[in-house]
Every structure is written in C-alpha cells, then in structure tokens.
Structure 1
Amino acid sequence: MSQFTPVDPVDLTAALVRCPSVTPADEGALDILHELLSDAGFTCAWADRGGIRNLFARWGAQGNTRSFGFNGHTDVVPVGDEAAWTMPPFGAQIKDGIMYGRGTTDMKSGVAAFAAAAVDFVRETPPDGSIVIAITGDEEGESIDGTLALLEYMENNGERMDVCLVGEPTCPNTMGEMIKIGRRGSMTVKFRVIGKQGHSAYPHRANNPLPPMMRLMDRLASHELDTGTDHFDQSTLAVVTVDTGNPATNVIPAECTAAVNIRFNDTHSGASLSAWIEEEVVAIREAYSVEIETLVKISGESFITPPGDLSAMVAGAVEAVTGVSPELSTTGGTSDARFVKSHCPVVEFGLVGQSMHQVDEHVRVDHIHELKTIYSRILRDYFA
C-alpha cells in the first residue's frame, strides 16, 4: 500500500495562482515548486538570468540512459482591467467546479499537473532513468532569459532530456482533442518611411510618406506566401499598425510608421522572408524616392517533430484517459517548444485554452485532475 499522500494538482494550482507572477515578477511561485520537488528527491538548481528566475529540477542520476522532460512557465500576462473581473484575478476561487484566476489556464494548472504527476510517480514507482522539470518565469515576456537560459544551464552542466513535453494549453474546445507537434514561425517587421513635410494644398512641395507606405503594405498583404504544407496551414501576413501621429488635415506629415506580423510555415525561414521584404522595400524606395527604414524581429522559426514514437505515446495516453483521439496539429501561436526543439524531440499537450489571457480566465477543476492523470500515464508508458 502506498505510504505517501498524492499531490493534489488543484491545491497546487491554487497556490501558484495566488502568486501574482506577472512577467518578470515571480512572487514566490517557483519557490513553491522548488520546495515540492526538493522534498520529493529532485536535485534542484536555479538558472536565473537577466532578472528572471528559472528552476531546473532532475530526479535520478545525471546521464541516465533515459530522461523524460517537462517544460512550462509560471509567469502570466497582466490582468488588464481588474474591475472587469467578476472574481479576484489572483484569488484562485472555485465556483461551480471552476477555478478563476490569471494563469489558471496558461499555464499554472499545466505546471501543477506535471509536477504533481512527476512527484507521485518517482515516489510510487521510481523509474529506471531520470525526469527533468524545467520551469521558467519568462515565457509571456521577451522569452530571452527563460527557457533559453534553462537550456544553456543544461548544456553547461551536462544535463539533458531525451524527449520533452511542454504543458501549454493545446485543446481548442474539448479536453484531449489536440496535441501540438510543431509551431509556425513568427516574425514582426517595423517600417519607417521618411518623406518631407509640407502644406496639403501644395503637395508638390512635399514628399508624402503615406502613398509609398500604403503601396508597400498593399504589396505585402496581398502577396500569397504559400498554400500550406503537409503539416502546416497557409502562412499569413497581417498589417497590424499604420501611423503618422498627424492630427492636422492641412499638413502632409514628414514620416509614417507601420508594422506587419508574419506567421510562417516550413516553406519559409526568417531569413528568406526578410530577403523578400527587403526586395519589396527597395522597389518602393526607388519608385517614390523616399527613405525606408526596417527593423526585423524573428521570434522563432517554424519547426515540427515528425509523427512518431513520442507523439504516438502521448496520443495513446490522452485517448486512454479522455476517450478522445487527439489531432496532431501545428496551429496557434508560438511557445517555448520553439527553443526546446533544438535540444530534443518535443510535443505539447495541455488543457482547453479558450479563456487564456482573458478577463475571468478559468479552468475546470476536473480537467486539472484529468491532466495529471494523463501526464502520469505518459510517464508510466515512457518508462515501462
């Protein structure tokens, strides 16, 4: 008979939610996990960088023949208009089987579920191998001192994961319906067209930056990047802002700024898209005799973990617990899996994500228990 009390993932989620860990603040969230994992025999270390706290934990001997990893984050986005919340955003209050609070969905419940599953697993059936848990406080922010710092720590200290599961919310509507095996790349490009200010009644004396900017935005937005690939939807480009800061109707402004966001599949790379954009900029610059400055930020390249043993094992555990056969998908935004993929094969599976980043973010309590059961099943199957 078991001699330990299983970790309640709902209680653990509530404790984490009550820490107002809006990036880059931690407010004690990682300390809670450090204590839990240390007490269960995990070797824990801090991989802090740039004012961000990051927790690395390993159960089992370093260099074991098999190492299963979990990755997640405890930082959350701001609450927005707190007056619009019907429940305290950091109260973790439960009503009618639903827990409310910032981070309940994205992704403190996921972290709580895999931490609880891992602790119970090593206490009940110590595996022949190791379990790594890597948790960051910088996923919702710039993401430069979070999982990247954890991976750097692992590289410098001889630590590794053979495979990794990221506990992000992956299911659009129904628990168990989707596993992410890859993600589209993401990049943002900012533009500044510099013309010459003048009176709108004498346009020939000015050089209006708006027509070249509008033409450039039209050329970019109307261009079909691709039609999709075997595992990815069609790439998209969205114009997200155009601005002159000009309140006067009788003044031609001196400059205009704009930005586009591109979500791209494996047809492209950040470099190839940057080269295409530069070609378009050169054409507009020459046609309108204006100066155009660009600033490119590539948040992540597209990647895929091809369907195989890892995705099949996770899908089997999900179906065994939920009765739902999950779709293998690459939809959605970016996640820290884009960094982990350079270290080892990685997939993502977690909760229904409908309320993430919203006012009154919430999670069903039974889904937290269900998620822990799925993660426990994955560990059993991996180390079987």
Structure 2
Amino acid sequence: MSEKISTIILSAQQRLKELLSLYLSEAEGFELLEDYSDFSDIYNTISSLSKCALIVDLENPSAKYYDFIRKVTEDFSNCRVVAVYENPTVDSIVKIMRAGAKEVLSSPVIKGEFFDVLARIKEQLNDDYRKSNRCRMVTVFSNKGGIGKTSIASNLALELARTTKENVALIDLNFQLGDITTFMDLKPSFNISYMLKNLDKLNKDFMLNTLEKYKDTSLYVLADPPYFKQAEDISPKQVARLFEILKETFSYIVVDTDNTFDGKTITALDNSDMVFLVTIVNLPALRNCQRCLDLFEKLGYDNEKVQIVINRYMENDEIKADDVEKLLNKEIYWKIPNNYFSLMAAINKGVPVSEMNASSNVAQSYRELAIHLADTIHRQKLIKKFVSNSVDNLKNILRG
C-alpha cells in the first residue's frame, strides 16, 4: 500500500473545514493531518512530511498569505498548494499561481471538482516522489586514519539538510571507534545495534522517532554501538537490509566508515551512489589513495561512482592539485581548504564548523559541496516542469 498524502487545511471558516474534512474522508490516498486557523505553525509541520497537500482558504487574502504560499512552494518541492477563492477572476488566479499555488478552486467547493484536483495532485506527487526523491547515498571513506573523513561526513550531512531541506541520515558505521556523536555533541538514546535488532519493526515513523535529530534541522544521526561487543554480532546482511529501509525514508544518506575493507564497509560502498575517497596531499596518503582506487576498480565500481576529495588543501603546497590528478590519473572532485583553527575549535566544542565560524572558507566549501551534490540541474528541471503545469492549469480554468 502506498503512503497516503498528508493534507493540511488552512482556513478560519469552520463550515469550510468541516466540508473539506468530509470530502477528504472519502478520498482515496489522502488523509487529513491537521486544520489550522492561521499559518504560524504550518511550516514546521510540512518540513517533517514526505508528501503534502496544503489547502489554503483565501477568503480575505492578504500579502502575508501570498508570501506564505510562495515560501512553502519554494522550500518544499513535495508540497502542493490548493487555493480556495470565492468568485476568482483572471487577475486573482494569475496572482495566486504566481505565488505558487498548484490549483485554484472556486468557493463553495464542489465535490467532483475537488476530487479532480486531488487526483491530479496525487499523480504529480507520486510521480515526483519516484523521480526526484530517490535517495542518494554517499559513503565517505579512507583507508588511512587521521585524514578527516568524519569531519567531512558530519559537516556535509548537515549542509545537505540545510541546503535541500529534505530528510538526511548520517550513519556512523565505524563500529569500533566512531566519533560522529562527539563531533556533533549528541547523546543519542538509540544506536545502530538497537536498529539492527529491530529490523522487522523499522518503518518511516520508527526511523524518524528513533534516530537522533540534530537540533532544528532535518538531519538525523544513527550512532555507532557504545560497546565493542555489540558490534561483533552485526552482519553485512543486516547492514544491507538497514540501508534498504533507510533509503525508503530519507532523501540523502551520508555514511562514515572505518578504515578497513571488512564486510560491513564493503556493503556500505556497494550500496552507495557515490564514494568520496578522502586524501590529503602527501605521498603516503596519496599512495594509499591509489591502492584504494585499484581495489575499487577490481570491485567493479565505475569511474563516476568513486570521487577524490582532498582535505586540508593549501594552494601553496609543494604538491599541487594538478600533480595529484596526474599521479592518480583521475580528476579531483572537491578540495576542502585547510583551516586548522576553525576546524579544531569546532571539534573541541562538538559543533559543525558552520556553527563555529560560518564565514570561514572551510564552512563555505562544505556549503558549496552540498549544493553540488544535491544535483541542482535536476531540480531546475523539476521547477520548469512545475511552471509548465501551472500554466496548463490556468488555461484549463480559463476555459471553464
């Protein structure tokens, strides 16, 4: 059974809310989540939903309502706004759709027209969900310790959550010496060992309630086991099943592994859309990096899947980025600048670097990396599709 589309009603008219609630009770694939008289709390509610329909009553429209519709549609590609307007004119329809509403219904709302609107929304959201919300999993790996992969994983995951405003899971797969919770100053109630013992119970709600949410963001953290013995009974098969369930819940997964090629690490690498192979610019690290590339080739990973990320890069290093590319026979995907003081201050405080020094070059680099990774070109295509659909809907309304 497919997930129902959560529906929110925003209206000060009790009779309209009761009527729409009645209609929704008969609509297949939709469920009324909440009704509000004002929009003060709606934004936070929408941020936690995977698919959402928002019905806005524009009985006495004000600029604040149009601004709110615009913000919701800009920030949440998984939400469709339906405006209810008494005797809408061409000008009012244009204004509403420019704000971002997907559909306009004339008041009083006719049941048949309402169901037609819901059918279109259901098709659009389910289609977009399949196409654009496919989870992307990134594993941050290095076979050499002390290179900074945990810092990269934690900072990247947070910036992905902030940039995309979608649910992001950060998984600590270093079962012996995981540091994610230390880097983010978290004391989670549950860890990956608990999740793997409860695989039969796992669903979206369980995931979102069990993983540790980082402050007021859409980042969820799954910690490593606190005791070594808890890690001994974890099998690669269990880890693979966990990733399957995580992919049904989150738009992005970022995994921090240990430095060994054991079965659990290989499982993470196999299940990843992209592997960030982290190195620094010195000969021992680059030699280890080349060994990893050779092994990844034997594992059958294509050239696009494995990407080189240089950490602590300095433009005045004796070994230049061009030298690294020649040595590894591979282009560098990203260079994270060296900023010792900002990074150490953040690590010692247990916060991401953007919360310690948001204007630093390293914080900016993580933001830009997240944007690059979020596949902005694809998102621009979805926006164009949204605009095109809005124009088509306007034409249908004008035709009557």
TM-score bracket for the superposition, by shorter chain length = under 0.3
Structure with the higher helix share, 1 or 2? 2
Compute the TM-score of the two structures, normalised by the length of structure 1: 0.23
Compute the TM-score of the two structures, normalised by the length of structure 2: 0.23
